[in-house]
Chains A and B, each alone.
Chain A
Amino acid sequence: MQRISELHVNGTRHKIDAEADRSLLSVLRDDLDLTGSKYGCGEGQCGACTVLIDGQATRSCITRVGAAVGKRIATIESLEKTGRLHPLQEAFLEADAFQCAYCTSGMIMSGVALLSKNPNPDEQEIVRFMEGNICRCGTYPRIVTAIRKAAQSMKGGGR
């Protein structure tokens, strides 16, 4: 079995020792203690495990760690910079776009990916892009509001 010895996560090269066919999610959580990304289904259906790989929203639970080697991986832990939240994190707080919040990391990472592609998505575009993320508490309307708010506040040079 091929073993993976290095992973580029949140701007840092991390030494790891993991079998290549383990899920990226388990390596992030168990080996690197980056537990912001969550396990929700293990089949890429709920989006709780969403991370960015080279900027693309990716379901880390069905991504082999071997497939992420040499790529830039970003998790929820990377968004807060020197005590400042990402505008989408701020917008989630403002809109109270969570209840139990177990889906929140995945929602925010998916939202960040959307906003990087489409800085001003309308409601339909948000719904289409976010359809793979489940919020069982049902805060979807607030998440849509949060993404719209973040888009507004990011206009003119935000992240």
Chain B
Amino acid sequence: MSKHRAMDESFEPERYELMAESAYQFNFELERRDFFKLLGGGLVLVFTLDAFASQESGRQGGESGRRQTGQSMPKEIGGWLQVAEDGSINVFTGKVEVGQNIRTSLAQAVAEELRMPIASVRLTMGDTDLTPFDMGTFGSRTTPTMAPQLRKAAAAARQVLIDLAAADLKVEPAALTVNDGKVIDSRSKQSIAFGKLTKGQKLLKVIPDNVSLTPATEWTIAGKSVPKVNGRDFVTGKHRYTSDLKLPGMLFGKVVRPVAFNASLGAVDIRDAERMPSVKIVRDGNFIGVAAPDAHTATLAADSIKAYWRSEQQPSGKELFDYLRKQATASQPSARGSIEEGLAKADKKLEQTYTVAYIAHAPLEPRAAVAQWEQGKLTVWTGTQRPFGVRAELAEAFRIPEDRVRVIVPDTGAGYGGKHTGEAAIEAARLAQAAGKPVKLVWTREEEFTWAYFRPAGVIDVSSGARDDGTITAFEFHNYNSGPSGIQHRYDIPNQKIVFHQSKSPLRQGSYRGLAATANHFARESHLDELARAVKMDPLQFRLKNLKDDRQSAVLNAAAKAFGWGKTKTGGSGHGISAGFEKGGYIATCAEVSVDRAAGKVRLVRVVEAFECGAIVNPDQLKNQIEGSIVMAIGGALFEAIDFDNGKIVNGKFSRYRVPRFSDVPTIEAVLVDRKDLPSAGAGETPIVGLAPAVGNAIFDATGIRLRSLPMAPNGLKI
């Protein structure tokens, strides 16, 4: 057990996949004259150099400043929330809203502790000048870490408000209660509104360590299906995403893209673009882009530039899996017992290889940024999951201290782990700097498909053994490149070896909803299905027999019951099941497929997924996340794959890269297992990990064909 933990810690699974390396380096040359002008003169520069030095020393690893440490959290209530004069509560968090509905769930947490209507709670999110530092919105950390933080601040604020009211009313604090934005003395029937007590002043009291929080069993606002707090702004089209923003005098930017990855810029002919009125052209290192008064002119100008790029031969999709194996480097095994001994005890042995393709996040809002320089201070609005990380990237690119950069993240058109980096922000800022005016830059869909990063591809080798009674005796698992998330499991296997091998990825890769847990669950849960079949045991019973974790067994049983596991099937249909554990949540998925063998068609008919993530914060939004995860997972399971050839993406548009649509959606039933006795875990990711193996196992059940590569049926089922 201790070895498992050692591996988890040393590998920092989140970190591994976060390290999407820059596709191209922004080594801006920034003319020296501009540099001084930007900083607004010598006086500022002295200050700048000091800040620079401390920034450098505080940075680890350099890599776009992505490994920020030493950022302290506010200890006082006022750093997290303020009581406005009108009695409403302004909450500040560095987390961002990208569709996971945390603007709602965090408002619920605060409203709960302050016993006030949720409509009176407003969140300021992801603004580096206004909100406390935050690593980023990833890893399903908002619910387990940010919600308790805000809850504590709100509970502490409640106590301060009670104390203030007690002083005003000259009564004991214990005699007072809080309800509907007021502190109430039930004996004298007097009450004072929150806003009257604080008069808009910041609460400077330090949040006590021992502040008591309302237990889930007593929740009245949290735990309820509160609808999206600003839903009306979305159904009316009023909400302004980054790409909808408009500043006075704003220009539109366009970047001239390289012909292939890792290309360097050679000769450039900008004569045609130069002849276009009001077009600003910027060439800086490998960066070449334009800014123009309207998007149409910017596109025409960029298209008119003839750039010559040098690129070298690069690996292609068809050689991917061999390449990943050959390039494998670091590995850290976690092991117990002896695989040899375990195999010696086995009646049946299996050895199989599973693969997963690169896939694209394809958030419907492509990367976008609006950048503005004012008196040497840079402000960028952009849709990113890491506002503070992007601030660091900008500071590094423009060689200015972070306190002269502000990043603001409007609620964004999704991320799925794909918007951790600040490419569009840097590009817009570089163009705005040169033009001396604000610049908006919106990536095209093709740019998003090509110049963002991908979910890692991977190869997974699994070998195992089991006794005829269904006891797994040995389990060996090697993952090349895709990542270590979800590589550990809840089965009780005496002899096992689990290894993640880093490799050299031909494509730029990074985080993706659920990270490598999808790949690792696909390999493991497909393999266990194969092993169950080898010992002629029901796949559900086989799993239950090898589990000693009640929470895992509970979701399996819940899913199986709701699905009707073991009931008879109609011709051509098959049932599959999978179990999983990731990011503090337990999942079990049952799938029914219908296969038309003559036509080679697979149809996903029905999915039942049971999920347990501790105390449920918002049942309907949780169901929404489960349903959405299942739908998104269908793409990666059956047909999504990035096709690439010698440094170029071959299928980088929606007409060539198929994503799940209305007709792909099965009947979905989400079974919620509410554990009010357990802390709430995040729920935006884990429900995605179980679908692929459940579907693969169902296809096998229907056809006897075992599919071991994701996507499993990109062109239907070839039989």
- The closest CB in chain A to the CB of B101 belongs to A99
| A130 to B365 Cα, complex, angstroms | 19
A75 within 8 A of B: yes
| A130 to B654 Cα, complex, angstroms | 16
Known: A37-B237, A138-B632. A29 touches B244 (CB 8 A): yes
Instruction: Determine if B632 and A137 form an interchain contact, defined as CB atoms under 8 angstroms apart.
Output: yes
Instruction: Determine if B232 and A35 form an interchain contact, defined as CB atoms under 8 angstroms apart.
Output: no
B interface footprint on A45-73 (CB within 8 Å = 1, 0 otherwise): 11010000000000000000000000000
Known: A102-B364, A105-B237, A140-B631. A96 touches B228 (CB 8 A): yes
B414 within 8 A of A: yes
Stretch of B23-31, B120-128, B540-548, B662-670 with 4 or more beta carbons under 8 angstroms from chain A: B662-670
- The closest CB in chain B to the CB of A136 belongs to B364
Please name all residues of chain B whose beta carbon is closer than 8 Å to the beta carbon of A103 when the two chains form the complex: 364
Instruction: Determine if B237 and A96 form an interchain contact, defined as CB atoms under 8 angstroms apart.
Output: no
- The closest CB in chain B to the CB of A91 belongs to B235
B320 within 8 A of A: no
Choose among A30, A80, A101, A140 the residue that contacts B234 (Cβ–Cβ < 8 A): A101
A148 within 8 A of B: no
Please name all residues of chain A whose beta carbon is closer than 8 Å to the beta carbon of B237 when the two chains form the complex: 34-37, 75-77, 104-105
Q: How far is the CB of A138 from chain B (nearest CB, A)?
A: 3
| A106 to B99 Cα, complex, angstroms | 17
B100 within 8 A of A: yes
B660 within 8 A of A: yes
A interface footprint on B358-377 (CB within 8 Å = 1, 0 otherwise): 00001111100000000000
A115 within 8 A of B: no
- The closest CB in chain B to the CB of A102 belongs to B413
Please name all residues of chain A whose beta carbon is closer than 8 Å to the beta carbon of B365 when the two chains form the complex: 38, 40, 100, 102
Stretch of B9-17, B558-566, B594-602, B621-629 with 4 or more beta carbons under 8 angstroms from chain A: B621-629
Known: A30-B295, A42-B444, A85-B236. A100 touches B364 (CB 8 A): yes
Instruction: Determine if B445 and A100 form an interchain contact, defined as CB atoms under 8 angstroms apart.
Output: no
| A93 to B236 Cα, complex, angstroms | 11
Q: How far is the CB of B622 from chain A (nearest CB, A)?
A: 11
Main secondary structure of the interface of A (DSSP, over half): loop
| A102 to B620 Cα, complex, angstroms | 20
A interface footprint on B422-452 (CB within 8 Å = 1, 0 otherwise): 0000000000000000000010110000000
Choose among B235, B414, B659, B663 the residue that contacts A99 (Cβ–Cβ < 8 A): B414
B568 within 8 A of A: no
Instruction: Determine if B235 and A136 form an interchain contact, defined as CB atoms under 8 angstroms apart.
Output: no
| A144 to B627 Cα, complex, angstroms | 13
Q: Which of A101, A104, A128 has the most CB of B within 10 A?
A: A101
Known: A19-B296, A131-B661, A139-B627. A98 touches B231 (CB 8 A): yes
Q: How far is the CB of A49 from chain B (nearest CB, A)?
A: 11
Known: A138-B628, A138-B632. A43 touches B655 (CB 8 A): yes
Main secondary structure of the interface of B (DSSP, over half): loop
Please name all residues of chain B whose beta carbon is closer than 8 Å to the beta carbon of A100 when the two chains form the complex: 98-99, 363-365, 411-414
Choose among B101, B236, B413, B442 the residue that contacts A36 (Cβ–Cβ < 8 A): B236
- The closest CB in chain B to the CB of A77 belongs to B237
B697 within 8 A of A: no
Instruction: Determine if B414 and A77 form an interchain contact, defined as CB atoms under 8 angstroms apart.
Output: no
Instruction: Determine if A41 and B654 form an interchain contact, defined as CB atoms under 8 angstroms apart.
Output: yes
| A139 to B670 Cα, complex, angstroms | 13
Instruction: Determine if A140 and B362 form an interchain contact, defined as CB atoms under 8 angstroms apart.
Output: no
| A38 to B227 Cα, complex, angstroms | 23
Please name all residues of chain A whose beta carbon is closer than 8 Å to the beta carbon of B252 when the two chains form the complex: 30
Instruction: Determine if A46 and B364 form an interchain contact, defined as CB atoms under 8 angstroms apart.
Output: yes
- B residues 466-525 near A (Cβ < 8 Å) are none
Choose among A39, A80, A94, A96 the residue that contacts B624 (Cβ–Cβ < 8 A): A96
Please name all residues of chain A whose beta carbon is closer than 8 Å to the beta carbon of B655 when the two chains form the complex: 43, 45
Instruction: Determine if A99 and B628 form an interchain contact, defined as CB atoms under 8 angstroms apart.
Output: yes
A interface footprint on B232-264 (CB within 8 Å = 1, 0 otherwise): 101111111101101000001000000000000
Please name all residues of chain A whose beta carbon is closer than 8 Å to the beta carbon of B663 when the two chains form the complex: 127-128, 131
- The closest CB in chain A to the CB of B227 belongs to A96
- B residues 261-275 near A (Cβ < 8 Å) are none
| A144 to B252 Cα, complex, angstroms | 37
Instruction: Determine if B654 and A141 form an interchain contact, defined as CB atoms under 8 angstroms apart.
Output: no
- A residues 107-142 near B (Cβ < 8 Å) are 108, 126-128, 130-131, 133-142
| A139 to B227 Cα, complex, angstroms | 14
B653 within 8 A of A: yes
| A48 to B413 Cα, complex, angstroms | 11
Instruction: Determine if A77 and B624 form an interchain contact, defined as CB atoms under 8 angstroms apart.
Output: no
Instruction: Determine if B295 and A26 form an interchain contact, defined as CB atoms under 8 angstroms apart.
Output: yes
| A136 to B98 Cα, complex, angstroms | 12
A8 within 8 A of B: no
Choose among A93, A105, A128, A141 the residue that contacts B232 (Cβ–Cβ < 8 A): A93
Q: Which of B235, B363, B627, B663 has the most CB of A within 10 A?
A: B235
B394 within 8 A of A: no
Known: A77-B237, A136-B363. A99 touches B632 (CB 8 A): no
B183 within 8 A of A: no
B616 within 8 A of A: no
| A37 to B101 Cα, complex, angstroms | 22
Please name all residues of chain A whose beta carbon is closer than 8 Å to the beta carbon of B444 when the two chains form the complex: 42
Please name all residues of chain A whose beta carbon is closer than 8 Å to the beta carbon of B407 when the two chains form the complex: none
Please name all residues of chain B whose beta carbon is closer than 8 Å to the beta carbon of A96 when the two chains form the complex: 227-228, 231, 620-621, 624
With contacts A96-B621, A136-B416 known, what are 9 further pairs, Cβ within 8 A?
Answer: A38-B241, A101-B99, A102-B414, A103-B364, A131-B662, A133-B661, A134-B364, A137-B364, A137-B414
B residues near A (Cβ < 8 Å) are: 98-101, 227-228, 231-232, 234-241, 243-244, 246, 252, 294-296, 362-366, 411-414, 416, 442, 444-445, 620-621, 624-625, 627-632, 653-655, 659-663, 665, 668
A residues near B (Cβ < 8 Å) are: 19, 22, 26, 29-30, 33-43, 45-46, 48, 75-77, 79-80, 85, 89, 92-94, 96, 98-105, 108, 126-128, 130-131, 133-144
12 contacts between A and B (CB under 8 A): A34-B237, A38-B241, A93-B227, A96-B620, A100-B363, A100-B413, A101-B239, A127-B662, A127-B663, A131-B663, A134-B654, A140-B631
